[in-house]
Amino acid sequence: MRVILLGAPGAGKGTVAKLLTDYDGSVQISTGDILRGAVKAGTELGKKAQGYMERGELVPDSLIMEIMEARLQEPDCKKGFILDGFPRTVPQADALKKLLQKLKLKLDLVVNLDVPKEVVLDRLTTRRTCSNADCQEIYNIKSKPPTADGKCKKCGSKVVQRADETEEAITQRLLTYNEKTAPLIDYYKKEGSLKTISSISSQEIVSGITAAIKGK
Nearer to ligand ADP, 25 or 51 (CB): 51
Q: Is 162 an active-site residue?
A: yes
Binding to ligand ADP by CB under 6 A, coded x per residue (else -) over 133-172, reads -------------------------------x--------
Collect all residues with Cβ–Cβ distance below 8 Å to 55 and sequence separation of at least 6: 164, 169, 172
Using alpha carbons, select from 188, 162, 2, 157 the residue that is nearest to residue 77: 2
DSSP-derived secondary structure letter, 149: T
Give min distance, CB of 64 to ligand ADP, in A.
Answer: 4
Cα dihedral 98, 99, 101, 102 sign: positive
Q: Is 88 an active-site residue?
A: yes
Q: Is 128 an active-site residue?
A: no
Q: Quick check: 53 binds ligand ADP (CB under 6 A)?
A: yes
Residues identified as active-site: 13, 88, 127, 162, 173
- In the complex, the residues that contact ligand ADP under the rule CB under 6 A are 9, 31-32, 35, 52-53, 56-59, 64, 85-86, 88, 92, 164, 173
